[in-house]
Amino acid sequence: MSGIVGYIGNSSAQPILLDCLTHLDYRGYDSAGVAISNLEKIELRKETGRIEDLDASLQIDPILEGHLGIGHTRWASHGAPTILNAHPITDEKERFIVVHNGIIENYLKLKSHLISQGYLFVTDTDTEVIPHLLVEYDTGDVEETVRKVLPMLKGSFALAIMSRNQPDTIIGISQENPLIVGFGNNEAFLSSDIAALLSYTKEIHPIKNGEIAVLRPGEVKIKTIAGDTIHPKKRIIEWHEDDFSLQDYDHYMLKEIMEQPAALKNTLKGRLTETGVQLPELDSFFEEHDVSQFRRIIIVANGTSYHSGLIGKKVMETMLDIPIETAVSSEFCCEHGPLNEKALILIISQSGETADTLSAWSEAKRYGCPTIAITNKRRGNLARKADYTICTNAGPELAVPATKAYTTQITVLLLLSILFTEKTQGPGLNRVPDMIKELHQLPEEVDKTLIMTQDAIDQFAQVTEDQQSLFLIGRGLDYVLALEGALKLQEVAYLHADAYAAGEMKHGTMALITPGVPVIALSTQKHLREKTINNIKELKARDAFVVGVTTIGDDEVSEIVDEVMYIPEAHPYLMPIIAAIPLQLLAYYAGTVRGYNVDRPRNLAKSLTVE
Ligand code: G6P
């Protein structure tokens, strides 16, 4: 997973490319590089680390000034994050210069063929086969050569290519992997994401599979692989620059945590009426399908999206009385039991780009399963593929750790649970009026929770500073939320945080409890409260340092724990959203107190376009 950019126009390319790359570094930050052309020569520079490191290197030792270039920010998949493996990647004589996102699945076969032809490989990347292939099949015209080579490449990838023989041209290609052309005033851009383009243009064309973008001074042509020119349907970007700026926050993670009341309002807007739920994007789904006829309903996702899927599963199956299954995408695409058109697949992905999830979608389609996507990218890859799409409308999420994605995804799953229950007359029908009433209050309750918990969490985060590990426990929905809380602490604070079903600690993990070990005990589900309290007592008997997260006024929990974090009380199905807030804040403060870059945790990237 990486970010790629391109620029051609009247301005100096280098600052624009670096600025655009800065907006893409959520896609990877192991190394960065640029290639700049002055229409006669092309020069390259790459550095390990982030865009700032590349910028510093260019300041100390500038490369040529030019009005055309390409750039890359890398999340290392094939090969260590070294300068050699950093992009742009070239052939031996730097005749072709390539930046690449995604994966060339058949690169090993191509590589051994090219080695047998005498090509020398110097990187560990899959990318390197591309410049060598371009040399091997060079017709003297870069566009024609690319058209010859493209059918040889298998996988999902986006590429920007330059050629030393034609230093006035940039070629952009997208195959199942995002790449957008931006149209400016006598200038044009390429970018993996619109986030990088907002301060330059709002007019874009996402390159489709089988299209090639050819950027030359004063012209942009979109062509088919056969070479026919296509008239692009330009689109106007709906998001605003403000959505992508830090405003007064130090980190995107905190900004996005604090944005949740507004994000939830957007998720609910137009969907929640006084008495019911409407999701017009599913009208044709309900015309074509009877939910009660599905033999399997499977929720498939990765990471935080998988955790919101687990909450969805628990709520949905109690309301519908139909067993709901969950699977992580990377497993589902390999093993999934019997599938056919009677299996409904709900696929969740904030980015709509995650390769594992897209591969799970392909697997579902191979068996003819209907698919509903829940995504934050209305026009992303997943939305384009799925039969039906519900957008979470959370606004851009730029911090690598997902926060508002999680709460808005759960909200969509609650809306879906209500609709499915109404359609199937499921046993949860009598809970619907209360859920609707409380969903109306949800943004306000989340706002209250932010105000109530922020200071207390900040203090508790200081306590965790010297700890290496931490446990989270809960029962039912609290257990599922504990999994997400643990993931956040691992990602952001590099803490060895583990989540356990509260009753399960005594079957083994209790051996790890020594005096002072921090445990966060979630008790937000009233019907499970007594049992959870017993489990907390077991931990206290071993002198663990227990922080209880419970609803306002629950004195019984507060009396037995060391610290208590009160949150507002809502319908039990809404509690995983409200109780997520203190856990997100805890991860944020635990990460910042340790001095980590919470927006860009080590070894991670926002959306992973490799399996
Ligand atoms: C990466 C991110 C996680 C995210 C997961 C799924 O691993 O670091 O934060 O939850 O991908 O992403 P998606 O965009 O498919 O929801």
Which range (81-85, 108-112, 462-466, 577-581) has the least confidence? 462-466
Q: What pLDDT, in 10s, does the model give residues 34-93? A: 999 999 999 999 999 999 999 999 999 999 999 999 999 998 888 899 999 999 999 999
Question: Under a CB-based contact definition with an 8 Å cutoff, are residues 212 and 172 in contact?
Answer: yes
- Of 77, 177, 252, 302, the one to substitute when testing ligand 1's pocket (max ligand atoms within 8 A of C-beta) is 302
For ligand 1, whether the C-beta of 329 sits within 6 Å is: no
For ligand 1, whether the C-beta of 304 sits within 6 Å is: yes
Q: What pLDDT, in 10s, does the model give residues 16-47? A: 999 999 999 888 889 999 999 999 999 999 99
| DSSP letter (8 states) at residue 77 | S
For the chain, what percent of residues have pLDDT higher than 70?
100
Place of tokens 């998001």: 239
Q: What pLDDT, in 10s, does the model give residues 276-316? A: 999 999 999 999 999 999 999 999 999 999 999 999 999 99
For ligand 1, whether the C-beta of 608 sits within 6 Å is: yes
For ligand 1, whether the C-beta of 374 sits within 6 Å is: no
- Of 350, 376, 382, 484, the one to substitute when testing ligand 1's pocket (max ligand atoms within 8 A of C-beta) is 350
Please give the model's pTM, rounded to 2 decimal places: 0.88
For ligand 1, whether the C-beta of 351 sits within 6 Å is: yes
- CA distance linking residue 580 with residue 51, whole number of Å: 32
Q: What pLDDT, in 10s, does the model give residues 584-596? A: 999 999 999 999 9
For ligand 1, whether the C-beta of 305 sits within 6 Å is: yes
Provide the β-strand partners of residue 374: 348, 390
Place of tokens 């590349």: 54
- CA distance linking residue 29 with residue 73, whole number of Å: 6
User: Which residue's CA is the closest to the ligand 1 atom numbered 15?
Assistant: 349
- CA distance linking residue 370 with residue 433, whole number of Å: 29
CA of 198 to the centre of ligand 1 (A): 23
For ligand 1, whether the C-beta of 609 sits within 6 Å is: no
Q: What pLDDT, in 10s, does the model give residues 203-218? A: 999 999 989 999 999 9
Q: Which domains does the chain have, with CATH numbers?
A: 3-243 (3.60.20.10), 247-427 (3.40.50.10490), 436-596 (3.40.50.10490)
Q: What pLDDT, in 10s, does the model give residues 390-428? A: 999 999 999 999 999 999 999 999 999 999 999 999 999
User: Which residue's CA is the closest to the ligand 1 atom numbered 5?
Assistant: 303
Interval 372-376 mean pLDDT = 98
pLDDT value of residue 233: 85
CA of 302 to the centre of ligand 1 (A): 6
Convert 212-224 into a string of H (helix), E (strand) and C (coil).
Answer: EEEEECCEEEEEE
CA of 510 to the centre of ligand 1 (A): 31
For ligand 1, whether the C-beta of 396 sits within 6 Å is: no
pLDDT value of residue 521: 97
β-strand 235-236 against 203-206: which pairing, if any?
A: antiparallel
For the chain, what percent of residues have pLDDT higher than 90?
86
